[in-house]
Chain A
């Protein structure tokens, strides 16, 4: 049984903001299927009571003092921008008004 369908790959591409071609969808569906079936092996491990590891360093409370540090000039900040106007980063019209915070 396939781990992932062509439609699911299309959904993942949308979520990932990748305008994949029809041809790529076919290739990726096959490849992702092989990869996902392989990595699904992690499910074989009995780990119900094992805590997850998100960080390999045993550190906590790494904090910075609340002191201003010089940053970039607006020229430096905008130097790599594909497009800028009025000292701001210019982007095409935005469709989706909703933002979470």
Chain B
């Protein structure tokens, strides 16, 4: 596409976007969806497989109760109705990462349906309709060999590892979301963020986008005001929160350029490229496979009875939005302050830091200050910055105990982030503890007084403010490891002046 893209403001002034999201979540169950193989991440290839998840002839699936319960809980948290009776279905297509060459999924009878999730964007509540939540199985992983950068194109062969094949995968599909205008990309991101928080609060998944346990497909279309919704494209492979936002924006711009030029949008899947931030076409609807869905004969229907669903509902945790409101009150934050905590993705981190003993103010200071700065510089999520809430609380404890001053604490934090150990260990190893040995400190003070007789005289004559210069000198000789306030008091005391 060589067309120049129009300006975003111009696009949203002329077109109305409709977005929709399909999210796949790998559940954090002990075992796979239909067999007893473990689901733990990593491991040597083909070490977590059995006849069932390898699709060997004769093997049969048996559904994992924990996965069914987790899916019902997700459905309940998303205000869905739970099917009284539903079936698994086979989705038939040939692909080597899918051992049976069909995926056990759900088709027209999802386990959960017709719900919603409220998300906040710019202080406003947007209700995202949930079409369905269903359960299926994940595929194996394919390693492409011989081509550039492991891509499928140009590869000469591929190698398949089935460790991931059969891990329970929950698919959450929104209804189309119209009316978000210029905010469409932010709404998409806010939805995935909120969904991720909900899933985390339920404890059903580790929701790590970078490891692929949370994966997003983004549907986008544009229409002229007052006209019918446009043809949508489905952008696959959108694997970070930032990418969700970028993918919607980029697809809006691309579609606007096509429409502006008098062209038509093709219904197709597109691939998002993390590096360039744009999308390229995949398969078009015309060549799409006929999946030949039919009820999975190897599994009997699911019929969650009302008592079971009620029991699961009663055990749901407080959901993130309500939880955040409660925290905001507890922490005494204004809406604006809370918003900056949210934007930084720091709610849980601060909460855990407080739980580990820090005051809310101190916890907020570290996470929104020094650590946010580092995360932004590195272009990573705050949670991945390298410090844990427990470490931050420990660090603050050292400050409160007077063992570290602010500057030293920052140096210790640098060590923590670099993985050098606990704050206490780093303080000791790097010799960063505040010099509280008054003997050593007194000697340094006396040295400074002797070296600066003029300043000493000024102080003796009552110009107490001049003490700053001597404090600086002492700090220099102690390499910053003295507590400035203590130094100042000591100088005044040695010169016989009241502070």
A residues lining the B interface (CB < 8 Å)? 15, 17, 54-55, 57, 59-74, 77-78, 80, 85-94, 96-101
> Are A97 and B157 touching (Cβ within 8 A)?
no
Residues of B within 8 A of A89 (CB): 46, 96, 159-160, 162
Q: Nearest Cβ in chain A — how far from B139, in angstroms? A: 7
> Are B68 and A63 touching (Cβ within 8 A)?
yes
Question: With A and B bound together, what is the CA distance between A70 and B37 in angstroms?
Answer: 7
Residues of B within 8 A of A87 (CB): 44-46, 161
Question: With A and B bound together, what is the CA distance between A39 and B117 in angstroms?
Answer: 48
Residues of B within 8 A of A68 (CB): 30-31, 36-38
Question: With A and B bound together, what is the CA distance between A57 and B300 in angstroms?
Answer: 8
> Are B65 and A64 touching (Cβ within 8 A)?
yes
- Closest residue on chain A to residue B137 by CB atoms: A101
With A15-B290, A61-B304, A77-B54 in contact, do A66 and B29 touch (Cβ < 8 Å)?
yes
Residues of A within 8 A of B343 (CB): none
B93 on interface, CB distance cutoff 8 Å: yes
- Closest residue on chain A to residue B65 by CB atoms: A63
**Interface size on B (CB < 8 Å)?**
72
> Are B139 and A101 touching (Cβ within 8 A)?
yes
Residues of B within 8 A of A88 (CB): 45-46, 143, 159-161
B66 on interface, CB distance cutoff 8 Å: yes
- Chain A interface, DSSP helix/strand/loop, else mixed: loop
The interface-forming segment of B148-156, B203-211, B311-319, B425-433 is: B148-156
The interface-forming segment of B253-261, B291-299, B368-376 is: B291-299
Q: Nearest Cβ in chain B — how far from A86, in angstroms? A: 6
Question: With A and B bound together, what is the CA distance between A52 and B21 in angstroms?
Answer: 33
- Closest residue on chain A to residue B147 by CB atoms: A93
> Are A66 and B45 touching (Cβ within 8 A)?
no
B136 on interface, CB distance cutoff 8 Å: yes
Question: With A and B bound together, what is the CA distance between A85 and B297 in angstroms?
Answer: 34
> Are A60 and B301 touching (Cβ within 8 A)?
yes
Residues of B within 8 A of A69 (CB): 31, 35-37, 50
Q: Which of A54, A80, A94 contacts B87 (CB 8 A)?
A: A54
